[in-house]
């Protein structure tokens, strides 16, 4: 019979994985265009500039504001990613204490992200806490701290080799459009990928990219923290996946939004509403 984990024996390395226009074999709506069509779309200069704008204004700012800065950041790109764009990415990551760009050939999303995770795994870690983040979304200030606090405790409830997943379903949607932006609250009824993390023994096969994030609760033990707003999802012309909330929409007053943002995020309402498509 397998042993239960002892909480104090877990030394988890938090690894945030961002796919930045990574050319993958499948898994996106764009995949129907074929590899060459996907390459042309993903690497289109105007599209890349839009992605960089959100990456810099939203994603990186949320990572820089983490209350716990002790995490590894890996940005996955294709090996044929435009050289000027790669240099820009590498410059943007320099301020982070443990961040790198990993360039890989075309693989499926699981294999590509798994290789990126393994490329930065530390020998001292007993467990890997792989955390999802898209290049146009934002964490709440304490996502890393919350993952580190919750994941070992949830893993401790299961067997010693069983992955466990932590997710946050309370946050904000930011619709960015030519007719103006809209910002509102959401409580998702299904697991959401932003800030979702999986803790698993170092070297184990599963990661947070092993299955569709909406179905993780059908394969592993999952804890959903629903009380604290911990994500901002941007909705815009370049979204690949359906950007429709699966649960309850909350139309906060301006005053409530200001308070929520000040408490949980490094942005003001005016900053978010002024972002351009």
What domains can be seen in the chain, in order of their start residue?
7-273 (3.90.550)
Q: In sequence order, what are the residues at sequence separation of 6 or more whose Cβ sits closer than 8 angstroms to the Cβ of residue 53?
A: 275, 276
Contact 224, 164 (CB under 8 A): no
Place of tokens 């629903």: 226
Provide the greatest CA pair distance for the chain. Answer: 61
Place of tokens 């069509």: 37
Task: State the pTM of this model.
Answer: 0.93
Start-to-end C-alpha separation, the chain: 55
Q: In sequence order, what are the residues at sequence separation of 6 or more whose Cβ sits closer than 8 angstroms to the Cβ of residue 240?
A: 28, 29, 30
Average pLDDT per block of 10 residues along the chain, 277 residues long: 59 98 77 82 97 98 98 98 98 96 97 98 97 98 97 89 94 96 95 95 94 84 96 90 80 98 99 94
pLDDT at 219: 85
| Coil/strand/helix, residue 127 | strand
pLDDT at 1: 36
Q: Can you say whether the dihedral through the CA atoms of 155, 157, 163, 165 is positive or negative?
A: negative
């Amino acid at each position: 019979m397998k042993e239960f984990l002892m909480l104090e024996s877990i030394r988890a390395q938090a690894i945030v994985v961002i796919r930045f226009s990574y050319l993958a074999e499948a898994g996106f709506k764009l995949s129907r265009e074929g590899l060459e069509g996907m390459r042309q779309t993903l690497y289109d200069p105007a599209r890349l500039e839009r992605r960089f704008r959100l990456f810099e204004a939203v994603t990186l700012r949320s990572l820089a504001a983490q209350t716990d800065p002790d995490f590894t950041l890996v940005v996955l790109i294709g090996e044929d990613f435009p050289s000027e764009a790669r240099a820009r990415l590498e410059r943007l990551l320099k301020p982070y204490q443990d961040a790198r760009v990993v360039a890989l050939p075309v693989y499926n999303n699981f294999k590509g992200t798994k290789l990126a995770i393994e490329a930065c795994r530390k020998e001292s870690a007993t467990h890997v806490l792989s955390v999802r983040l898209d290049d146009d979304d934002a964490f709440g200030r304490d996502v890393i701290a919350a993952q580190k606090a919750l994941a070992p405790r949830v893993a401790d409830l299961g067997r010693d080799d069983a992955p466990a997943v932590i997710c946050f379903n309370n946050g904000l949607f930011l619709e960015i459009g030519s007719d103006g932006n809209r910002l509102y609250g959401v409580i998702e009824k299904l697991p959401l990928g932003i800030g979702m993390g999986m803790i698993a023994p170092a070297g184990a096969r599963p990661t947070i990219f092993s299955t569709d994030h909406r179905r993780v609760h059908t394969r592993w033990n999952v804890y959903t923290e629903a009380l604290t707003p911990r994500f901002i999802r941007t909705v815009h012309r370049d979204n690949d996946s359906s950007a429709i909330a699966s649960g309850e929409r909350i139309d906060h007053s301006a005053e409530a939004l200001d308070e929520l943002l000040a408490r949980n995020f490094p942005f003001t309402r005016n900053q978010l509403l002024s972002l351009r498509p």
